[in-house]
Structure 1
């Protein structure tokens, strides 16, 4: 039977030299009060020391919000956190600084693969065989996911290349013994059964709990309240009490965030369905909206679609505005299915969500090739159509779920401005006008790291498209082909001169992007989709 303890008692359970695995996504599922108590104990006593923190999704709020930086950053202190293993560190600026300063060993591994690894650890397996990451910076023949010199010089490997396993090559992700499974729920009963009725996401709570117990570790859960034993709906229990050792009841509701930007929204849990008009963040008429419109023209009715973080998240807004949201199923890597994805700091949650599966199970769907249409931010692209999302202009970000999803999506769509760093555009009289060019080229000869291997994607029969405010480029078996150009854009000075390589230009030149998407009112998407 789980024991209810105080924050101070929970902090004392964190001993030196342990590995902690957290089930969180941004601030969703993050037991912030316990994390702060651990940080305060370190300030007072110098313990715990030398913690390894393992988690799949990024944990933090990008250093923004009324309370400042939140999440994993409270552990980013010299001597407290000494190893980071996760898919994304960019949402925790203080942690990034420690990695860049070479004070913390750090590995960047695929989000979905890490969760699948937790599942294998729960079976006491030595690790996970996967094709995810082959030919990217996660591959040990390149960087092995290592983020700084300290990690590279350590000689410690968490991924191994298997050149021939029944005639095929794989990567083997080694098991990481977990001492504490660290998570948050809504309600615990007296037997330790955990429900998550107020959480927007299910995450990988059970997998981490099983991994911790298989290693002889403990599971600590922060909740909002305690219920009488047997009073919870058994179908709502996400972590059975047989896995839970300690429960901490929250003392300050202000520390509980449903997403990075929202405390609680009933439409994110599926408790209610609300009219979307007036609730979805409006998309102003600008270059972003033009790109999103062009993107939606590639979607077919019935597609299962995943929209990544940043500009891609707002694809659902355009679909809803055009009256086409019900023609597809919108999916987020968090396990959310149906409804319309939340944008900005609500990434991962869905308005009027229809189903919510555990995040790890969701990635089995991605890895199995079930996704019809994946939309990703356009960060940096080389001459072969390979993409870098993890190390941009020397800044460490992280791959998140991108590496799993982009590699298997039947249609991999990359959307973003053609250049970066201060670019300014405006759309006037049906034309795209570049007011100020960005400082950095995105289409380069080579990338410092690869998180998407175009050749491997093409071999699977997938389609690859790069959609920008001024042109559309398709990666085909022939190479990078400039297929469309926006009205008002000069081919030589505003496209070719802003690239480090020459794309293939079709005979007769690129086609003109649909001029109608460059006007404030569009209203043609339904007609386009119905014609497919």
Structure 2
């Protein structure tokens, strides 16, 4: 077996030609081959090449907290087009990431497509298939009859079209044919075999490598260390050396945004759950507690970034931390998903799957429910999670949201009822709104559709919206208020703060007062019996 070529990041950049399509495996800082991306930026500064690159990112590369990711190559002339499941986000008080500035100045074509679909576009390329037929994204901003995933006016309508197959409506995404795949692992041996022992997930490294290798492209792997040829255990090798053309050693690569190496993230050690940080009391914690009451012991539950990520930590505080099996799109199964910019990793996972395999579970609805955030909800039950109202650009983007919601049997959307500066007191007597946010999140029409309420109803999905002051359910008649917080005035604080009429349930309930105290709320998950689990999976077939 031939030894792999060892290059510096700057030397690896010379493998990229003008007009190439490069594909990058990362999830914010997790798995981000930052040194190689920096090498490309360095070469462009020195030589004005490569130019007119197309960069593909199933999940964002970089998050602006010390890891620059895509911003290393976000230069006019260097970057012509970006296809991404999500984009880096950063502190709201700082300048937007450079890639956002390029998008807003119309300096780059930019598409936002579902992460799972983008992974599958690589797998179909590797198998020399034309592309991906999927129902993920129908009737949302991804649908070409709406925005086609385009993020500015410079971006042409491309890369997604509608199709009818066997009488059913589908979206078709052509395969991605990369000239260069840039991936990251922990260790490479001298043959280029890659292991991921310090990583929170292998993400899509193998599929991106297959796509480039099988279509005549180049595979560049960034690693932390080099091992002797043949010394890696074959069952630990996730990307074989036959696919790898060059290796770049970056000894200082971070595991996550803030973590050099936490062995509890990579599965090398199990830490006591007591080591997790305490979740401070807040309105978001109240919302997360109420959502936790929806769960049953033994369920498989997906969750997304934001307030929903608090729910596993709420259960830890309630001594229920091991009762639910969490699945997140980056690949972790079980354990406790982490918060903030370590999200995408879990402490003490039971398994760490490649992202594309995790999306097979998620797109197929093989879980009980999903907990997700929202920015806006409208009269049709549509949800916007990717487009900031009153601003031109999107947030991190759709990511795996569309993949997950396409077939989830039950969905719980979580967020604040209003936006903007507000003064709301929470305590043992419930909520007291001194001054409310000036903007309601319940609007006549969302500014962009990330989730289609009418499609969910047609597919038989169960949908709830949980806020700090009210719980609502999606019905064919409209949104129904089923619960309100103690201390809340139904008319003034809920009905009048919606731009569209809400229906009030005949048996309107009051949310559990225990949710509003600083001590644990006494949440105890009842078990989901095996027969109910099987019946629920069978009934969810109608959603798929």
- Paired position in structure 1 for 2:448: 449
- Paired position in structure 2 for 1:410: 409
| C-alpha contact 1:19 1:53 (8 A) present in aligned 2 | yes
- Pairwise CA distance, 1:456: 2.1
Alignment of 1:32-181 (within 5 A): 32-61=34-63, 63-64=64-65, 67=66, 70-91=68-89, 93-151=97-155, 154=156, 156-162=157-163, 164-181=164-181
The 3 A distance-change label for structure 1 pair 199 and 100 is same
The 3 A distance-change label for structure 1 pair 416 and 10 is same
- Pairwise CA distance, 1:269: 0.7
SS at the partner of 1:269? coil
Distance in 1 separating the partners of 2:434 and 2:39: 50
Paired residue total: 519
Query: Which string of whole-angstrom CA distances, capped at 9 and with x for unpartnered residues, describes residues 164-206 of structure 1?
Result: 2111010000122200000111111111111111111110111
| C-alpha contact 2:384 2:448 (8 A) present in aligned 1 | yes
- Paired position in structure 2 for 1:436: 435
- Pairwise CA distance, 1:384: 1.0
Distance in 2 separating the partners of 1:81 and 1:103: 9
- Pairwise CA distance, 1:486: 0.5
- Paired position in structure 1 for 2:539: none
- Cα RMSD after superposing both structures: 1.6
Query: Which string of whole-angstrom CA distances, capped at 9 and with x for unpartnered residues, describes residues 481-529 of structure 1?
Result: 0111111111122112211101111236x21111121122234212666
SS at the partner of 1:506? strand
- Paired position in structure 1 for 2:290: 294
- Pairwise CA distance, 1:439: 2.9
SS at the partner of 1:414? strand
- Paired position in structure 2 for 1:260: 257
Alignment of 1:282-431 (within 5 A): 282-393=278-389, 394=391, 395-397=393-395, 398-431=397-430
- Pairwise CA distance, 1:91: 2.2
Determine whether 1:482 maps to 2:481. yes
Distance in 1 separating the partners of 2:434 and 2:303: 28
The 3 A distance-change label for structure 1 pair 527 and 315 is closer
- Paired position in structure 2 for 1:504: 503
- Pairwise CA distance, 1:334: 0.6
User: Which is further off, 197-206 or 430-439?
Assistant: 430-439
User: Which is further off, 317-326 or 420-429?
Assistant: 420-429
| C-alpha contact 2:185 2:202 (8 A) present in aligned 1 | no
Distance in 2 separating the partners of 1:83 and 1:167: 34
Query: Which string of whole-angstrom CA distances, capped at 9 and with x for unpartnered residues, describes residues 297-350 of structure 1?
Result: 100111101121011111110011111122110111111001111111110111
Distance in 2 separating the partners of 1:418 and 1:296: 18
Distance in 2 separating the partners of 1:339 and 1:8: 38
SS at the partner of 2:260? coil
SS at the partner of 1:326? coil
- Pairwise CA distance, 1:40: 1.2
Distance in 2 separating the partners of 1:480 and 1:261: 41
- Pairwise CA distance, 1:448: 2.3
Distance in 1 separating the partners of 2:348 and 2:421: 36
| C-alpha contact 2:13 2:39 (8 A) present in aligned 1 | yes
Distance in 1 separating the partners of 2:235 and 2:439: 52
Determine whether 1:272 maps to 2:269. yes
- Paired position in structure 2 for 1:242: 242
Normalization by structure 1: what TM-score? 0.95
Distance in 1 separating the partners of 2:259 and 2:422: 30
SS at the partner of 1:495? helix
Determine whether 1:520 maps to 2:522. no
Gaps of 5+ in 2: 91-96, 533-544
Distance in 2 separating the partners of 1:530 and 1:515: 25
Distance in 1 separating the partners of 2:430 and 2:517: 8
The 3 A distance-change label for structure 1 pair 234 and 530 is closer
- Pairwise CA distance, 1:440: 2.1
Distance in 2 separating the partners of 1:529 and 1:503: 33
The 3 A distance-change label for structure 1 pair 528 and 195 is closer
Normalization by structure 2: what TM-score? 0.92
Determine whether 1:199 maps to 2:199. yes
Distance in 2 separating the partners of 1:275 and 1:368: 33
- Paired position in structure 1 for 2:230: 230
Determine whether 1:215 maps to 2:212. no
Query: Which string of whole-angstrom CA distances, capped at 9 and with x for unpartnered residues, describes residues 49-95 of structure 1?
Result: 1111101111222x33xx4x621111111111111101112426221
| C-alpha contact 2:299 2:528 (8 A) present in aligned 1 | no
Gaps of 5+ in 1: none
Distance in 2 separating the partners of 1:523 and 1:140: 46
- Pairwise CA distance, 1:530: 8.6
